[in-house]
């Protein structure tokens, strides 16, 4: 599966703000995701955090001066700049932002930023008024106009105790931005993918519904894998999905009919639709406006159900690649093959409904028209998402050829 951080050389610039301690956690997460992290600390950053912390976490030397020794293959800022896949400044102080915008090279961070051709991410963190100051905003505008990506800070409690704008973006957001930059140019580069995720709730009355245990793990994993491969993702998620991956365009729905409308709106300019959601096949025909009361004389309760539309079968948009899921309890391959043909799909992922719904792993078979079934080993949903993304990229490649 695409792992955009694995083996990537990331230069992490840390400047002298109170949020510098968060950069230690960020460095650690980058390393855990397989990145080769090289930290540069400004002189002010060393007032807040120790270079040793970064050295211990990254297993690499930490750079604090542009005048460090040029030994062997290592030519100081020139080597760091030339070998970086990505440079991230987190936290970026108002002072560092001004210096970078002005092109100053009086420390290692400034010199590397001038010398590199790698993409640059800047995550500002400062006091509310410093953030909103016209000078800071103008400097950031200058940087954006040069292609630097700015990860806007968040609102909340600041170090002073006051509430305002200027908190360093959460580490998860920093990671998502880094993945996104490194994923650009991947096998789904420039593709727009619509993915549905989780289960729907079909109301019986204002407080009850028919639902299922789908967690949205597969849809979320697909969304992340597609973004890691360079795609833009719209994720249409049901109420059972707790959190969505950072970076998707999120669309929240509750019922199957809402999901159908959301899908129809989202696919207009999309290249592929992946229906990973567990959409209810039926909904109560007459949901009550009031909470249904228990009748003491009745031991049974009748509930009339009507069929929900088959969302993906009802879509025929020229050029749109359609990927479906078949979660079955019996005759898996026969049922999945029938669905593949009946719904006009380009790929169907067949798996055991009981084993897969709500689980972290899945054992799936991929069916593509004109190809032999591909039976996969049991693997995590993240790994399965990577395989599906690879097959999707192959389908796009065949579209170009034919």
Ligand X SMILES: Cc1cc2nc3c(=O)[nH]c(=O)nc-3n(C[C@H](O)[C@H](O)[C@H](O)COP(=O)(O)O)c2cc1C
* 126 in Cβ contact with 166 (< 8 Å): yes
Least distance between ligand X and beta carbon 168 (Å) = 8
Q: Which is nearer to ligand X, 160 or 329 (CB)?
A: 160
Q: Which is nearer to ligand X, 85 or 127 (CB)?
A: 127
Region from 15-23, 24-32, 266-274, 355-363 binding ligand X, contact rule CB under 6 A: 15-23
Q: Examine residue 140 and tell whether it contacts ligand X (CB under 6 A).
A: no
Q: Total residues contacting ligand X (rule CB under 6 A)?
A: 15
Q: Examine residue 15 and tell whether it contacts ligand X (CB under 6 A).
A: yes
Q: Which is nearer to ligand X, 96 or 240 (CB)?
A: 96
Catalytic-labelled residue, pool 95, 139, 212, 295: 212
Give CA torsion, residues 236, 249, 154, 124, to 10 deg: 150
Least distance between ligand X and beta carbon 221 (Å) = 35
Q: Which is nearer to ligand X, 2 or 16 (CB)?
A: 16
Tokens found for residue 6: 């694995």
Least distance between ligand X and beta carbon 21 (Å) = 11
Q: Residue holding tokens 């030339």?
A: 82
Is residue 95 annotated as a catalytic residue, yes or no?
no
Q: Examine residue 351 and tell whether it contacts ligand X (CB under 6 A).
A: no
| Residue in 16, 183, 186, 247 binding ligand X, rule: CB under 6 A | 16
| Residue in 125, 204, 223, 389 binding ligand X, rule: CB under 6 A | 125
122: which strand partners?
89, 150
Q: Examine residue 111 and tell whether it contacts ligand X (CB under 6 A).
A: no
| Residue in 9, 18, 332, 379 binding ligand X, rule: CB under 6 A | 18
How buried is residue 352: exposed, middle or buried, by Cβ count under 10 Å (0-12/13-18/19+)? middle
Label residues 43-81 b or e (16+ Cβ within 10 Å = b): ebbeebbebebbeebbeeebbbebeeeeeeeeebbeebb
Least distance between ligand X and beta carbon 294 (Å) = 59
Q: Examine residue 95 and tell whether it contacts ligand X (CB under 6 A).
A: yes
| Residue in 130, 241, 267, 366 binding ligand X, rule: CB under 6 A | 130
Question: Shortest Cβ contact with ligand X: which residue?
Answer: 17
Q: Examine residue 356 and tell whether it contacts ligand X (CB under 6 A).
A: no
Q: Residue 23 belongs to what H/E stretch?
A: helix 20-32
Residue among 162, 169, 172 nearest 89 (CA): 169
* Strands laid side by side in the 149-150 sheet: 36-41, 9-14, 86-92, 120-124, 149-150
Region from 1-9, 88-96, 246-254, 309-317 binding ligand X, contact rule CB under 6 A: 88-96
Per-residue x/- mask for ligand X, residues 45 to 84, rule CB under 6 A?
x---------------------------------------
**What percent of the chain is helix, strand and coil (3-state, nearest 5)?**
35, 25, 40
Least distance between ligand X and beta carbon 82 (Å) = 23
Q: Examine residue 42 and tell whether it contacts ligand X (CB under 6 A).
A: yes
Least distance between ligand X and beta carbon 33 (Å) = 26
Q: Which is nearer to ligand X, 170 or 387 (CB)?
A: 170
Region from 9-17, 82-90, 353-361, 380-388 binding ligand X, contact rule CB under 6 A: 9-17
Q: Please state, in angstroms and rounded to a whole number, the distance separating the CA atoms of residues 122 and 14.
A: 10
Q: Which is nearer to ligand X, 96 or 356 (CB)?
A: 96
Q: Examine residue 151 and tell whether it contacts ligand X (CB under 6 A).
A: no
Q: Which is nearer to ligand X, 164 or 203 (CB)?
A: 164
Q: Examine residue 40 and tell whether it contacts ligand X (CB under 6 A).
A: no
Q: Please state, in angstroms and rounded to a whole number, the distance separating the CA atoms of residues 169 and 150.
A: 11
Q: Which is nearer to ligand X, 135 or 285 (CB)?
A: 135
DSSP 247: T
Instruction: Give phi and psi for 374, each to the nearest 5.
Output: -110, 105
Active site residues: 212
**Interaction site with ligand X (CB under 6 A):** 15-19, 42, 44-45, 93-96, 125-126, 130
């Amino acid at each position: 599966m695409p792992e955009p951080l694995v083996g990537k050389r990331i230069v992490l610039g840390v400047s002298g703000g109170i949020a510098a301690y968060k950069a230690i956690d960020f460095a650690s997460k980058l390393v855990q995701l397989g990145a080769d992290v090289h930290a540069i600390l400004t002189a002010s950053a060393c007032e807040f955090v120790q270079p040793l912390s970064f050295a211990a976490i990254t297993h690499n030397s930490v750079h604090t001066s542009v005048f460090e020794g040029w030994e062997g293959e290592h030519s100081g800022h020139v080597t760091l700049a030339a070998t970086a896949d990505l440079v991230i400044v987190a936290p970026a102080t108002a002072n560092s932002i001004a210096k970078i915008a002005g092109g100053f090279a009086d420390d290692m961070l400034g010199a590397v930023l001038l010398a590199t051709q790698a993409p640059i991410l800047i995550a500002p963190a400062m006091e509310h008024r410093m953030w909103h100051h016209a000078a800071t905003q103008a400097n950031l505008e200058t940087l954006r106009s040069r292609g630097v990506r700015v990860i806007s800070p968040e609102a909340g409690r600041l170090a002073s105790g006051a509430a305002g704008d200027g908190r360093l973006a959460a580490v998860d957001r920093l990671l998502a931005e880094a993945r996104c930059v490194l994923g650009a140019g991947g096998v789904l580069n420039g593709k727009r993918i619509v993915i549905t995720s989780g289960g729907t709730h079909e109301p019986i009355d204002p407080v009850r519904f028919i639902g299922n245990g789908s967690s949205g793990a597969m849809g979320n994993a697909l969304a992340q894998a597609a973004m890691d491969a360079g795609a833009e993702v719209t994720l249409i998620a049901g109420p059972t999905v707790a959190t969505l991956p950072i970076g998707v365009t999120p669309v929240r729905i509750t019922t199957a009919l809402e999901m159908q409308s959301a899908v129809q709106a989202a696919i207009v300019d999309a290249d592929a639709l992946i229906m990973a959601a567990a959409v209810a096949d039926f909904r109560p025909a007459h949901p009550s406006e009031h909470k249904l009361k228990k009748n003491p004389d009745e031991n049974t309760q009748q509930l009339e159900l009507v069929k929900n539309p088959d969302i993906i079968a009802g879509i025929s948009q020229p050029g749109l690649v359609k990927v479906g899921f078949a979660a079955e309890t019996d005759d898996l391959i026969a049922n999945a093959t029938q669905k593949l043909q009946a719904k006009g799909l380009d790929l169907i992922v067949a798996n055991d409904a009981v084993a897969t719904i709500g689980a972290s792993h899945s054992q799936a078979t991929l069916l593509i028209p004109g190809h032999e079934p591909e039976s996969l080993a049991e693997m995590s949903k993240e790994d399965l998402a990577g395989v599906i993304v690879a097959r999707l990229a192959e389908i796009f490649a065949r579209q170009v050829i034919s």
